Amino acid sequence: MADFDGLSDALNLRKAQSLYRSRRLLTSAQQPQQQIDGKDVISFCSNDYLGLANHPKVKEAFTKAVELYGVGSGASHLVNGHSALHHELELTLAEFTGRDRAVLFSTGFMANMGSITALVGRGDAVLQDKWNHASLIDAGLASAAKFKRYQHCDLASLERQLLSCSDAGRTLIVTDSVFSMDGDIAPLAELADLADAHNACLMIDDAHGFGVLGTTGAGASEQFQLSQDRLPVLMGTLGKACGTFGAFVAGSEELVETLIQHARSYIYTTALPPAVAAASLASIELIQTEGWRRDRLQQLISQLRAGIERIGFPLMESGTPIQPVLIGDAELALKISGKLEENGLLVTAIRPPTVPDGTSRLRITLSAEHTEAQVGRLLSVLGDVYDQLSTQEREQLSQARTKLLV
């Protein structure tokens, strides 16, 4: 048996550095009012941006599909696990995003891993935003292509990387559309221009944009009016604004067929349960027909940002439901998160290695199901917590604020 001496020491060190992570036990539906670890809380840390995870129509679609198809899909898509509901969902996603075709993956991580490793390899190049999601970074490293990271949303940095990879066989530029820990949006139109100028292919991870961005909620491609030619590889997830589970990649006929033939994380895994596909179809219909949910989000974002700025916490720039409050120090971020929880408010403290050292933060996320009163409660408690901070802790926040201005 392998010698695993040292694991305890490493875990204890993580605890001492205020970087230890613990799972919470949810015993209620995914909605703003939750029960976590036996306590009633108002949650401000879910990615259920449109409040669809517990929507009656979504649950009804799931239940009806279970009666017809059962619970499990039983096999991979390429054996006999690809149901009519999966196929209908792929057609719907392709039409909604303005693409020729779409292909379902079981998770967003698998979609990114399968796509990047299928599209580039030895002799190619993959260039990624420094703050991309871990799944994109891991996929780039696993691809065997020349892997480079450009400075966050920095077009000049990317162009330098493109010039250094001019001899690559195929070049793939990869970015999040909405960055999950910061809430800011990549300059996608300019990235598409650079891709065109350097004969590169642009891929975006629209996990936090799909359902939220765009006039009808189709995501970043709609928001920035990026056609399939300008944005050849569009990945999105169904477990966030859609409120269900799974992911998809949309693009040309050739792209989708390439992924079906070569993406190992698609070929060698069990398909999503058909009932989840049915629930996703119901969610997409709600996204398309209930635009008030996106309007509601914008109202709550404005309320929250105005309130936090009055209190004095350093608030990162974001117009999305992800509203990060930069704290800086991991221990202080945990302390403030704990004070909020004592008052029945669940806000996660995000610490390294998820974010860079010295940039620990409170990641506040909003849902269309939140009420103005709930946001007002959060602001009231944040104000009380700020007033109780020591001089040293306020100085730490001042240093964090300085980082935002640099």
Please return the burial class of 194, using the count of CB atoms within 10 Å of its CB with bins 0-12, 13-18 and 19+: middle
69 CB neighbour count, 10 Å cutoff = 19
Element (H, E) at 394: helix 391-405
258 CB neighbour count, 10 Å cutoff = 16
354 among annotated binding-site residues: yes
* DSSP symbol at 72: -
DSSP 202-269: EEEE-TTTTTTSSSSS--HHHHTT--TTTS-EEEEESSSTT-S--EEEEE-HHHHHHHHHH-HHHHTS
216 among annotated binding-site residues: no
Measured in whole angstroms, the distance separating CA 222 from the mean position of its chain's CA atoms is 18
Tell me the catalytic residues: 180, 208, 240
**Entry field: residues in the chain:** 406
293 CB neighbour count, 10 Å cutoff = 21
133 among annotated binding-site residues: yes
152 among annotated binding-site residues: no
208 among annotated binding-site residues: yes
Largest CA distance in the chain: 64
228 CB neighbour count, 10 Å cutoff = 19
**Which among 300, 244, 299 has a CA at the least distance from the CA of 276?**
244
Main-chain dihedrals φ then ψ at residue 173, nearest 5 degrees: -95, 130
Q: Which residues are annotated as a binding site?
A: 21, 108-109, 133, 180, 208, 237, 354
Q: Which residues are annotated as a binding site for substrate?
A: 21, 133, 354
Q: Which residues are annotated as a binding site for pyridoxal 5'-phosphate?
A: 108-109, 180, 208, 237
